[in-house]
Amino acid sequence: MKKSIISLMGTLAMMLLASCGSPSTGSWVSYSGDRQVERRVDSVLQLMTLEEKIGQMTQFSANWSITGPVMSDDFKPYLEKGLIGSIFNATSVEGIRRMQQIAVDSTRLGIPILFGQDVIHGYKTIFPIPLAEACSWDLEMMRRTAEIAAIEAASDGINWTFAPMVDIGRDARWGRVMEGAGEDPYLGSRVAEARVAGFQGGVDGKALVEVHTLLATGKHLAAYGAAEAGRDYHTAELSEHTLRNVYLPPYEAAAKAGVGTFMASFNEINGVPATGDRWLMTDILRGEWGFRGFVVSDYTGVNELVPHGFAEDEQHAAELAVHAGIDMDMTGATFIKNLTQSVEEGKVPEQTIDNAARRILEMKFLLGLFDDPYRYLNEERARKNSMTPEFMETARKAVAASVVLLKNEDNLLPIPKETEATLALVGPLMNDSINLNGEWAGLGDRNKSVPILKGLTEKYKDSAVKLIYAEGSSIDETTPARIAEAVSAARRADIVVAAVGESYHWSGEAAVRTDIRLPEAQRQLLGALKETGKPIVLVNLSGRPLDLSREEEEMDAILQAWFPGTQGGHGIADVIAGDYNPSARLVMSFPRNVGQLPIYYNRKNTGRPVDLNDERVDYKSNYLDSSITPLYPFGYGLSYTTYVISDLALDKSSMKAVDDRITVTATVQNSGEREGEMVVQLYVRDLVGSVTRPVKELKGFQKIALKAGESRQVTFELRAEDLAFYGIDMKKKTEPGNFTLWVAQSSDDNGNEATFSIE
Ligand code: NOJ
């Protein structure tokens, strides 16, 4: 009898909700407080008890992929009482259906659950890690791979992804640099927009209720990448200027692109843990950027306010977090266990709870969950839309477009099929599929990823190129006998191709390294191969820039292939054989040694800048034992052809500080013998500021395709507002003064320089 009353009430509530009309058809991008949605949310809120509202602010993990302490609470009793807003890491489609059924049919109000997951660089079809994809500088490609991830996941019951990660990464020790777009705020912002558009849809005004929409998350707000010494979860101490001018722009870009949610970062910033930082989560995020979605904590981030030394106990932590602007507690159960009491004691206004619950319910409406709680569960769609030939093709192209050619002595690469040569294929990652997907690889089947050996074998089948294989070492172990086997293969070959690098576990969350060289076993292997005198092509797979100083000296060609995903072997083979001409450019500086970290191109000049042509001068800002320059700079990458930039011209030499622009043109020529794509980069230096300005800042880029010998004029519109920054008064504006500008092939290319001024 009791059960039927509950389910009747549930049905009534659902009818009431459904009668509010069909879901919004506005787009994410244009969503800014849809009155119709607000009215519907009001009608639900009126029915809810305080505890039910706090329930909406509660998220539990289905404990598939644990990224923190396992919570002892079994969440089922909460689910049955309608006290859960979201569940994440539920990977069984049947499980999701069952949980949704409980929420919808057996709870008092029948409010559907939001199902989240870390769909970071693919769901079943795994694309290159985000850092790798960013090296393509191909925004449309990144939009599309995010969209494909959404299409695949949104059939399996998932409707919310914890991506894109938009943290600036300047320190390669930090394992999470693999998840972001590198060190640059401008590029990071453009990539953030592309990925938000891809996950959520709406780039062309599409409705956000389309079934391949995933609610996206801008994370981790903020400055998680500024963790001291690259140690995960560590303290970030940085000036408000650096925070605003360097770290915040990609989050702001995600907010402006209509991202539905944000995730708070684990770190403290200048003494205040982000999860308890009202200035960040409310004043900046909502006040300055106009964000209207909801904010989720990171995994037990609210509980962690206690060990941070910011809250006395978990009740205090919950109060601080909700006051700061955290709307949903991930996994920690601090809200559901404490906030009812906090409201009753007058420590938290009920209005604060209403606001948070409202924001969460709004997203559920916008996702169409009140219309059909099962709309993201569709076996038929899942079958049709998973790992399709088109997705495989996109993934293969994404691999090739992400591989950065770092060195190519004597044009050792490419090795076309017609080459009469034997290749010795060696190294721990040559015949490996398990590592290829990298970390955060969703449901990607690691056994299905294409090893490089397989890619090369298929590529050179029935061709003049012959292959022999000997592993030589595992990732961090080898023996003299294994090395001897690889050396013997090298001796019988004309060229060695060695696939080396990191284990995929060595990057991602809680995966920090203080030594970022190749492991000793692999260095021994490469040393022995070098002694054979055979030319060596190094293919490096890693989730971060490594210190490749020794390899730069000893290897003949180097390809940085990151963790390439499902189609890894094929995409890399396309590059090696020259069927794809490398076009990727680094988005993070590669250091010469770990002691240089953090290292980034947009550094400050200092009062004692060192002359880069003669660094060994006393009392300058230099090192005694190293250059200050990176081994490979931001924006750098070679190609199988060459390019020349010339004829840099500005339509005027000065502009006003507001509402004005300068048109910059330059000619780019493909001066080599094969077709290729070139990333033309526009950098600016603001010579004097009310706070000091970086020696260079990226302000624009274009990726253009050029046939052999072809020339093309590129045009950039540099607006005065593109030069705005937070100055001494912490207001964002463009300051008058003189500027230098470069149109360049990389951040250290000063060949085409011009000057202009702001009146
Ligand atoms: C912790 C990570 O920091 C965050 O990025 C991730 O989304 C959550 N765990 C959920 O897995």
Q: Which atom of ligand 1 is found nearest the CA of 219?
A: 5
Nearest CA to ligand 1 atom 7: 162
pLDDT attached to residue 542: 98
What is the tens place of the pLDDT at every residue in 24-66? Answer: 333 443 445 677 888 899 999 999 999 999 999 999 998 765 5
Residue 17 has pLDDT above 50, yes or no: no
Ligand 1 mutation pick, 63, 67, 115, 158, max ligand atoms within 8 A of CB: 67
Q: What is the DSSP letter of 702?
A: E
Percent of the chain, pLDDT > 90?
Answer: 89
pLDDT attached to residue 64: 62
Nearest CA to ligand 1 atom 3: 298
Question: Quick one: pLDDT band at residue 93, thresholds 50, 70, 90?
Answer: confident
Residue 317 has pLDDT above 60, yes or no: yes
* Domain spanning 643-758: CATH superfamily: Immunoglobulins (2.60.40.10)
Same fold, 126-258 and 410-578: no
Percent of the chain, pLDDT > 70?
Answer: 93
Span 310-327, average pLDDT: 98
Residue of 138, 298, 432, 574 marked catalytic: 298
pLDDT attached to residue 207: 41
Residue 174 has pLDDT above 90, yes or no: yes
Distance CA 691, CA 688 (A): 8
- For residue 162 and ligand 1, the question of a CB distance below 6 A is answered with yes
Give the torsion sign (CA, 598, 601, 604, 608). Answer: positive
**Can you name the CATH fold of 126-258?**
TIM Barrel (3.20.20)
What is the tens place of the pLDDT at every residue in 119-143? Answer: 999 999 999 999 999 999 999 999 9
d(CA 517, ligand 1 centre) in Å: 27
- For residue 298 and ligand 1, the question of a CB distance below 6 A is answered with yes
pLDDT attached to residue 11: 39
Token pair belonging to 33: 């407080």
Residue type, 264: A
Residue 302 has pLDDT above 70, yes or no: yes
d(CA 180, ligand 1 centre) in Å: 13
The model's pTM is: 0.95
Ligand 1 mutation pick, 162, 167, 251, max ligand atoms within 8 A of CB: 162
pLDDT attached to residue 189: 98
- For residue 291 and ligand 1, the question of a CB distance below 6 A is answered with no
pLDDT attached to residue 342: 98
Active site residue 298: yes
Distance CA 651, CA 526 (A): 52
d(CA 440, ligand 1 centre) in Å: 10
Residue 680 has pLDDT above 50, yes or no: yes
Span 65-93, average pLDDT: 81
Query: What mean pLDDT value characterizes the chain?
Result: 93
CA nearest 664: which of 590, 754, 558, 560?
A: 754
Question: Quick one: pLDDT band at residue 14, thresholds 50, 70, 90?
Answer: very low
Q: What is the DSSP letter of 674?
A: S
Span 313-335, average pLDDT: 98
- For residue 63 and ligand 1, the question of a CB distance below 6 A is answered with no
Residue 597 has pLDDT above 60, yes or no: yes
What is the tens place of the pLDDT at every residue in 220-276? Answer: 999 999 999 999 999 999 999 999 999 999 999 999 999 999 999 999 999 999 999
pLDDT attached to residue 92: 83
The domain ranges of the chain are 1-117+349-389, 126-258, 266-343, 410-578, 643-758
Question: Quick one: pLDDT band at residue 209, thresholds 50, 70, 90?
Answer: very low
300-331 burial, b for 16+ CB within 10 Å, e for fewer?
A: bbbbbbeebebbeebbbbbbbbbbbbbbbbbb
CA nearest 254: which of 184, 341, 188?
A: 188
Express the helix, strand and coil content of the chain in percent, nearest 5 each: 35, 20, 45
Span 611-637, average pLDDT: 97
pLDDT attached to residue 650: 98
d(CA 299, ligand 1 centre) in Å: 6
CA nearest 374: which of 8, 115, 90?
A: 115
Residue 5 has pLDDT above 90, yes or no: no
Let me know if domain 410-578 sits in CATH 3.30.930.10.
no
d(CA 160, ligand 1 centre) in Å: 13
Span 529-558, average pLDDT: 98
Helix spans in 23-168 (H): 35-45, 50-56, 76-80, 93-105, 130-134, 139-153
Q: Which atom of ligand 1 is found nearest the CA of 217?
A: 7
Question: Quick one: pLDDT band at residue 202, thresholds 50, 70, 90?
Answer: low
Span 444-455, average pLDDT: 97
Residue type, 615: E
Tell me if 726 sits within 8 A of 240, measured CB to CB.
Answer: yes
- For residue 509 and ligand 1, the question of a CB distance below 6 A is answered with yes
d(CA 163, ligand 1 centre) in Å: 9
What is the tens place of the pLDDT at every residue in 550-578? Answer: 999 999 999 999 999 999 999 999 999 99
